[in-house]
Each structure stands twice: as C-alpha cells, then as structure tokens.
Structure 1
Amino acid sequence: MNTQVDVHRDLHSEQGARRAEHPGRSANPLIKVRDLAWLEFEKPDLVRAEAFARAFGFSTVLHTADELHLRGTDTGSPCVIIRRGPHSRFVGPAFAAADKVDVERLASATGTKTRKLPEAIGGVAVDLTDPSGTPVRVAADTHILAELPAQRPHTFNFGHEVRRANTTQRPPCEPARVQRLGHVVLQSTKYMESLNWYLDHFGLIVSDFLYYPGQRERGPTMSFIRCDRGATPADHHTLAMVLGPANRYVHSAYQVCDLDAIAAGGEYLRESGYDRSWGIGRHVQGSQIFDYWRDPDGFMVEHYSDGDMFDNTLEPGWAPLTASGLAQWGPPATKDFLGMAPGREAVRELRSMLTAVRDDNEFGITRLRGLLKVARS
C-alpha cells in the first residue's frame, strides 16, 4: 500500500549541527564585509544585454561602446557591470567593505596591493582570487548613486482584515523594478576550501548547510552565507556556494517589492520573448518568493521578494539537499534550473562530471552518486 510522504518534513533546517560539524563562521576573520556590491560580466553584445536588463527591471547608469552599468532603485553602487568581450562569461563578484581601512588590512594580510577604481565607480579596491579561481574584488569609498523612484508594494486584504476598500487591484504588466542586488550562487569543485576562504577573509557566516542525502557524515555540499552585521539583520544569504563538477556561476538574485511585481514583471518578460527557468514559488532556505529567468546569453537571474533576514545570533541550520526540498510551494524544479535540460550547459556539466572524478578536487565518485540522487529526489 502506498503511503503519502510529506516532502517538506524536516526540510526547514530547524535541526542544528551535530558535535564536531562545521560551525559556519570563522573564529578570527580578517575583515567583515558589509554587503555584496556588484557582479561583473563580459558579453559580446551590450545592446542586447541592455534590452533584457530593462525588461528585467534594471535602470542604466552608463552605456558606452565597451561598458554597461546597471542599477536598482536603492541608493548605492551599480548592481551589475558588463564589459564588452569576445564571448559571454561571468568575471566575478565585488563585495563592499565597511571602509578603506578594511580594504588596506585585507591587502596587507594577503600580500596584495590596493588600487583606485575607474572614475565611473570611484573608490579603492583589492583584487583577490578564491580557491576555485574566481576573481573576487573588495571595494570601499565608491560613488553612491542617489535613490530612484521605487515601485510601491500593493495594499492587501488578508482574510477578514480589510486594508483596501472601494478601490480595485490592477497591477500593470510592466517590468518589475529591481531594488537591489541580493545574492550570487557559485558552484565549486573545491567547495569546503572555498567556503572557509570566504569565512576567514570576509567574516561571512553560514545561515544554512545542506548535505547530500545519506552523506551527512562526509560534510555539507551547499551553504547559504550572510554578512555579519552584528545585531542588524542581514539577508539570509548574500553568497551561496555548492559543490559541483565545475567552477561556475549558477545564478544571481535581485529584490523587487512584492509578489505582484514578480508575477506581472514575469508576464512582461514572457510576452517580450524571454525564457522562464523556474517559478513562481517560495524557497525553503531563505523563504524568498522567487521567479527564475534566462537572459539572452544563458545566464540565470532571479526576481525575489520577502526574504529572511538574520542577525549574527542565529546558528546554521542543517538539512538534506533534494530537488523537492528547494521550494515550499510552486511547480517542481525544472530540468533547466537543475542544469539537466538538453543543451550546451547540460553537455558542459556532463563533461565536467567525467573530468572532475579524475581530478584532485572535492568532487569524487561518491559525491557524483550523491548529486545524481539529488536530481532524482
């Protein structure tokens, strides 16, 4: 007789660490970064990139023959910097330090030098490379862009609680207005080494660990990592890292005001001919309402709202990594989101699997079996 199984039982990470498991933070980090500042890409067609960016909800700060800067409505630096290149690739993330002294301290501790950033950005930075080979920039004193008019959240009637009377609800089918950059997700063949590097260098702390089902004793294979702002709550994750057969960008996420912005903005993207990867749904780790899209160059980007905010008192949660456990509600995770859809990306990932189990990294044959189990869960 078939027994119905609650696929969300024990997936919300209330269970904590066991004895001797990773603590999720560094005892003595070099500095504590304040936020994720921007992401850098190279693309051959900046006109095409800007067209998608505007449909997705960005505003353009700078567009020259060789460079494109995109921003949200919040004050701060641009969210995304795209430079013209021979082919599309993710270059790396830039984190915001609390001040110039932290940049100098990081440079001194790593044997590198600070440098002035171009006038369009301003400030100073130190350029590092994480154990996966991804360039990572830490910047301070950059130019602050003034706040732009933002998309207003809708007023909702919740059950019998009437907040809106004698007026209708008519969300327009238009681009969602991106407020800010929320997080980036990176895949690494040296997941644990890279995780410790980010915690030790930048003072990041883990909100949630995930592990392959049946392999918890081998350690986590994914972590959702937030900035340590003390008693001030920070995004559940600014950086997420996952073990995999290749070092690559997975996706980046951008906050919008509410569910209607996500849904109506998604309709605008669909009617404009762009491809949804997965959504709409609500995540487990982080709780965000999400909707994933592919840009014309194949990069996955996410609209989200209503994400968890944690201060530095919360300890990491632990849960198994399963495809069904990626969302509390919504459609099942798609093959495209999981990297299994037929196409160049799936072929590259398959080739990486065959190569990774032969290379000197953390992704061995046991981990490959675990990953395949995740995709079927």
Structure 2
Amino acid sequence: MNLTTVQPARHPRPTTKASALAYLIFDRPDLAKAERFLNDFGLRTVSRDSERMFLRGTGAAPFCYVARKAAKARFVGFGLRVNSRADLEALSRVPGASSDVESSKWPGGGYRVGLVDPSGFRVDAIFGQAPASALPHRPPLPLNSVDAAVRINGTQRPPVGAPDVIRLGHVVLELADFQQTCAWYTQHFGFIPSDVQVLPDGSPAVTFMRLDLGTTPADHHSVALAQGFAPLYSHSAYEVVDADAVGMGQRVLREQGWTHAWGIGRHILGSQVFDYWQDPWGDKHEHYCDGDLFTEDAPLGVHAVSREAMSQWGPTMPRSFTKPRFTPASVAALIRNLRHSPDVTVEKLKTLAKLFA
C-alpha cells in the first residue's frame, strides 16, 4: 500500500511537542445523568456544581473529563499538556489562537492557551498543572499459563463493581478537512503518525497519531483522525488495569442498564483489548487494556481500511460506528463540504460507504 497524499507525515520542526492528552470537554443537558454513567464507567467525580463537573481516573492527573451544563449535548474539544511556558507563548502566536497565555482556574491550576483546530474543535494547550495524589487501584491479576504457574492454591475473584479507570488514553475524531487538520496537529503539537489506513486509491481514511516523547514509549495513538463528511466525535478511550477489569466493566454497565456498543475484542492497530459503551446521548466510551507502546523511531505503517481491519478477534465492528447520523445540521455540513473541502468528494464517500456497508 502506498500513500498518495501529503498527510499523514511527521513535521520536521513542530511548534511544540505535546506530552500528554490531558482531558476532554463535553456539553451535557443533564449533569446528574452524565455523572451516573461516568461513575458506573469507572471515573470518579472531583467536583460538581450547577454549571460544570470534573472527573478523574486513579492516576496523577487532577481531572481528565469535563462536563459543562448546556442546552444541547455535544463534544467541545480537549486539552494537550505541553512542556514549558515557552511552548505556550509559541502556541499563542499560532494563527487563530483564541487566547493569550492565561491562568487556569480548573483543578490543578497551571496556565493555558486556547486554540481551535481547522475542523473547529477546541484545543487547550496547558502547562504547570499540579499533579493530584494517585488513588489506589487493584493490581493486575496474576495469570496461570501452560508455561508458567504463578498462582498456586489461590483463586481469581476480582471485586464486583465499576472498574477503576486509570487514565484517559485517546480520542478519535471524524473530519471533513483531513489533510489540513492532520497537518495542524503534526505541525503545532509534534504528533507522529503510527499507522494509517488507506482507501484502494491510496488516500488516507484513518490515521493513528502518537505523542513524540523521544525514547520514552508513548501510546500507539493519543489522537486518531478519520475521514468523514463533517467534524464529529467518534469515541474516547480509558485505560483499566487488565482484561478482567474490561469484563467487569461490561457486567456492571449492563446491570445498570446502559447501552453496549461493541466488544469485547482486540484491536489490530494498537492491539488493545476493548469494550465500548454509549453514554446517555449516544457518545461512545471505550474501556481498554494492553495497548501498544512506540518510541519516536517506530516507522509509519500503511494498511488497507475495512470493517474487518478494526479487530483481531471479537465481534465485527457494528455499523453504528460508521453509519452517519443525518440531521438537518449534518446534511447542511455534507453539502457545504462537498462544495468547499478538497478532501470530501462524492466518489470518496461512496467508497467509504461500500467498504463499511
């Protein structure tokens, strides 16, 4: 497989190199309902008032999820941690930056610069957050195998309850302007494409991008971008301690009456053992464990895109992951982007629809 377009590609001199995916921001009409789902999912409430709610995992991040009170449910954007005040100053000069360097009043404090990516998603660059105290979570279960017996005269009885989310792992977005948006993230935050899935003509359909942490291993992807006809949230993913925690999450969320989306299975690109659930507004949230870790020198992989290419084992990816939600706003976006976006063509959309039919 060969690529026929400029992106995805590393940028030789990025403005900054982000060091972490810090948090996601959602608007929600009912904070109490959002909190019930997220607590059952395994996130812990840090603080909540009538306007805003912050939640965290057991790791040292002071929060990883923000829900804001709003009339309409929507995904707003996310935060990326950078390495210095100088990084913030450099990003404040990026065309379209929505703020100068400002103090953050959110948990952990620090400083922030607001940006908007070419697809319209809010991106906060943050530096100087004070870490929170890590919370306890159970250790991974010791597993007996045919080659090594590590548990003798003992049993496996993980506690029944919401699995401990350790941290936010990644977010996946659909885009109309794939080339421009992908280039923006590689240019300004130093993201490295780990793998790209391409259409039969070689044009990119999905790119999985990791942080450039040098010789320190980074998640296979912290941000993934998929070609679509409009900017949309696809899903976000949260790491748990092991596969039993993924399974326990399925049990608890099913017993609490939430809607299952896909799983359990193992991805091909990234290798995570996964399970997806829908929140009260249909937005997908993924439990995962055992993801791949890459250093800066791992080369780009190129693969054909298809529904079957999304998992090694487990159920085939449901059509709900690729079937567009047609609303007056999305139809208007489709017409607008067919006219104005160089990445959205009738032929490309027909090919995507055929591959994921």
2:155 maps to a residue whose letter is T
Moved >4 Å (runs of 4+): 17-23, 346-350
Once the two structures are superposed, the pairs formed by residues 86-105 of structure 1 within 5 Å of their partners are 86-105=71-90
Aligned counterparts of 2:3 and 2:278: Cα–Cα separation in 1 = 38
2:319 maps to a residue whose letter is K
Aligned counterparts of 1:368 and 1:180: Cα–Cα separation in 2 = 35
**Partner SS state of residue 70, structure 1:** strand
> How many Å apart are 1:116 and its aligned residue?
1.3
Q: Structure 1 unaligned runs (5+)?
A: 1-14
Aligned counterparts of 2:332 and 2:207: Cα–Cα separation in 1 = 21
> How many Å apart are 1:357 and its aligned residue?
6.1
Q: Higher mean Cα deviation, 106-115 or 273-282? A: 106-115
Q: Does 1:50 align with 2:12?
A: no
Q: Residue 360 of structure 1 corresponds to which residue in structure 2? A: 340
Q: Residue 326 of structure 1 corresponds to which residue in structure 2? A: 310
Q: Is the 8 A contact 2:230 2:337 kept in 1?
A: no
Q: Residue 179 of structure 1 corresponds to which residue in structure 2? A: 166
Q: Is the 8 A contact 1:357 1:365 kept in 2?
A: no
Distance 1:18 1:241, change over 3 A: closer
**Could you say what the CA RMSD is over the residues aligned between the two structures, in angstroms?**
1.9
Q: Is the 8 A contact 2:310 2:317 kept in 1?
A: yes
**Partner SS state of residue 336, structure 1:** helix
Distance 1:87 1:350, change over 3 A: closer
Sequence identity, in percent? 36
Aligned counterparts of 1:33 and 1:231: Cα–Cα separation in 2 = 15
Q: Higher mean Cα deviation, 285-294 or 153-162? A: 153-162
Q: Residue 178 of structure 2 corresponds to which residue in structure 1? A: 191
**Partner SS state of residue 366, structure 1:** helix
Q: Residue 65 of structure 2 corresponds to which residue in structure 1? A: 80
Aligned counterparts of 1:318 and 1:287: Cα–Cα separation in 2 = 16
Q: Residue 263 of structure 2 corresponds to which residue in structure 1? A: 279
Aligned counterparts of 1:348 and 1:179: Cα–Cα separation in 2 = 38
> How many Å apart are 1:240 and its aligned residue?
0.2
> How many Å apart are 1:75 and its aligned residue?
0.5
**Partner SS state of residue 233, structure 2:** strand
Q: Is the 8 A contact 2:22 2:80 kept in 1?
A: yes
Q: Is the 8 A contact 1:207 1:225 kept in 2?
A: yes
Aligned counterparts of 1:273 and 1:352: Cα–Cα separation in 2 = 34
Q: Is the 8 A contact 2:166 2:239 kept in 1?
A: yes
Aligned counterparts of 2:334 and 2:16: Cα–Cα separation in 1 = 38
Q: Higher mean Cα deviation, 351-360 or 147-156? A: 351-360
Q: Could you report, residue by residue, the CA deviation over 1:135-189 in whole angstroms, capped at 9, with x for unpaired residues?
A: 1110001131110001321110012410111111123331111000000001110
Q: Is the 8 A contact 2:217 2:294 kept in 1?
A: yes
**Partner SS state of residue 75, structure 1:** coil
Q: 2:115 aligns with which of 115, 125, 128?
A: 128
Aligned counterparts of 1:349 and 1:323: Cα–Cα separation in 2 = 27
Once the two structures are superposed, the pairs formed by residues 336-375 of structure 1 within 5 Å of their partners are 336-339=320-323, 345=325, 351=331, 355=335, 358-361=338-341, 362-375=343-356
Q: Does 1:167 align with 2:154?
A: yes
Q: Is the 8 A contact 2:308 2:317 kept in 1?
A: yes
Q: Is the 8 A contact 2:190 2:212 kept in 1?
A: yes
Q: Is the 8 A contact 2:267 2:312 kept in 1?
A: yes
Aligned counterparts of 1:229 and 1:307: Cα–Cα separation in 2 = 16
Q: Does 1:215 align with 2:193?
A: no
> How many Å apart are 1:221 and its aligned residue?
1.9
Q: Residue 251 of structure 1 corresponds to which residue in structure 2? A: 235
Q: Higher mean Cα deviation, 306-315 or 171-180? A: 171-180
Aligned counterparts of 2:167 and 2:293: Cα–Cα separation in 1 = 15
Aligned counterparts of 2:46 and 2:136: Cα–Cα separation in 1 = 15
Q: Is the 8 A contact 2:3 2:198 kept in 1?
A: no
Q: 2:50 aligns with which of 58, 65, 86?
A: 65
Aligned counterparts of 1:320 and 1:302: Cα–Cα separation in 2 = 23
**TM-score when normalising by structure 2:** 0.94
> How many Å apart are 1:120 and its aligned residue?
3.2
Q: Structure 2 unaligned runs (5+)?
A: none
> How many Å apart are 1:350 and its aligned residue?
7.4
Aligned residue pairs, count: 354
Q: Is the 8 A contact 1:104 1:114 kept in 2?
A: yes
Q: Is the 8 A contact 1:204 1:227 kept in 2?
A: yes
Aligned counterparts of 1:211 and 1:225: Cα–Cα separation in 2 = 15
Aligned counterparts of 1:183 and 1:145: Cα–Cα separation in 2 = 20
Aligned counterparts of 2:334 and 2:186: Cα–Cα separation in 1 = 30
Aligned counterparts of 1:173 and 1:286: Cα–Cα separation in 2 = 28
1:40 maps to a residue whose letter is I
Distance 1:34 1:223, change over 3 A: same
Aligned counterparts of 1:247 and 1:295: Cα–Cα separation in 2 = 19
**TM-score when normalising by structure 1:** 0.89
2:165 maps to a residue whose letter is V
